[in-house]
Amino acid sequence: MPEIRNEEFQVVTLGAVKEDGTPDIANILFQFPVPHQQMSIKQSVKVDEVDVPGRSGKIKQAVGYEDTEITIGLTLVDEEDNSGNVSSSAIEQFRELQAAFRDRSDPVGAGTETSKAPYSVPTIFSIQSPLTDACGIKTVLFKGLDVTDQPGTTSLEVSVAFTEFEPVATQVEKRGKEAVRRQQAAEEAAKADDEATNKHQAEVGAEDPLAAAYRKGKAAAMGGSP
């Protein structure tokens, strides 16, 4: 297997997505080269805090993963042919990215009573590049686009942001698993609390009924055990 070195441009390909939400990378919509060290991918764990009945504070539990965030920095410059004529200007290249981010063409029914929105909704793309492939990212939402012009030049500094976007069926399945993990964490925390209480009582003996009633009343007034 050839070694991939981060010392040259890497091509990022945005493709279509099928109706079932699976990637259709063979249907290429946009391609652009990403310069050395200008692509970053952030992945993080989703942590949920579980309340324990009768106890102050919360217990943290890892329930899944946050959606992966992808950021790409680009410098767009005028491209020239062999004769020195501009074949593709920086602004023309940016328009292609702009079209990928936000299609401003009139949707079907625009200008009529049946029209519901002035622009089409954001598009989900399939994505392919060495780095996103390594992270197992297949489909993304084009989340953000920043552009800055440079004084005294026609070049443009562009930052594009994507977020991992999975099919609806996959999202529903993940949310269901997260809910199960939260419930399991709450049950395990309550069980551990009961075991600790029983162990303490076994070591020091049963608590006096009047003292127990006083402790419960104080805990209720304080919103939890002191």
Taking the C-alpha atoms of residue 27 and residue 14, their distance in angstroms, rounded to an integer, is: 9
13 vs 181 pLDDT, higher one: 13
Taking the C-alpha atoms of residue 174 and residue 27, their distance in angstroms, rounded to an integer, is: 28
Residue carrying the six token digits 């089409």: 120
Query: What per-residue string of b and e applies to 86-122 under the rule 16 or more CB within 10 Å gives b?
Result: eeebbeebbeebeebbeeeeeeeeeeeeeeeeeeeee
Mean pLDDT of the chain: 76
* Terminal Cα distance for the chain, rounded: 61
> Distance between alpha carbon 164 and the CA centroid of its chain, in Å?
5
pLDDT confidence of residue 123 = 82
105 vs 68 pLDDT, higher one: 68
According to CATH, the topology of domain 10-177 is: Elongation Factor Tu (Ef-tu); domain 3 (2.40.30)
| pTM strictly above 0.85 | no
pLDDT confidence of residue 30 = 85
Residue 2's pLDDT band, with cuts at 50, 70 and 90, is low
pLDDT confidence of residue 179 = 54
pLDDT tens, residue by residue, 32-48: 888 777 899 999 998 88
pLDDT confidence of residue 116 = 45
Residue 139's pLDDT band, with cuts at 50, 70 and 90, is very high
Q: Spell out the domain ranges in the chain.
A: 10-177
Name the β-bridge partners of 12: 32
Ranges assigned E (strand) in 129-195: 139-149, 156-164
CB 102 within 8 A of CB 219: no
- Copy the structure tokens of residue 11: 């091509």
List the one residue out of 30, 40, 31 whose CA is nearest residue 6: 40
Task: Give one word for 40, left, alpha or beta, with left for phi > 0 and alpha for psi -120 to 50.
Answer: beta
pLDDT confidence of residue 44 = 92
Taking the C-alpha atoms of residue 172 and residue 9, their distance in angstroms, rounded to an integer, is: 37
The sign one gets for the Cα dihedral 19, 159, 119, 88 is negative
User: 3-state class of 206 per DSSP?
Assistant: coil
Mean pLDDT calculated for residue range 92-113:
72
> Distance between alpha carbon 85 and the CA centroid of its chain, in Å?
42
Rg of the chain on CA atoms, in Å = 28
pLDDT tens, residue by residue, 61-80: 777 888 899 999 988 888 88
Residue 117's pLDDT band, with cuts at 50, 70 and 90, is very low
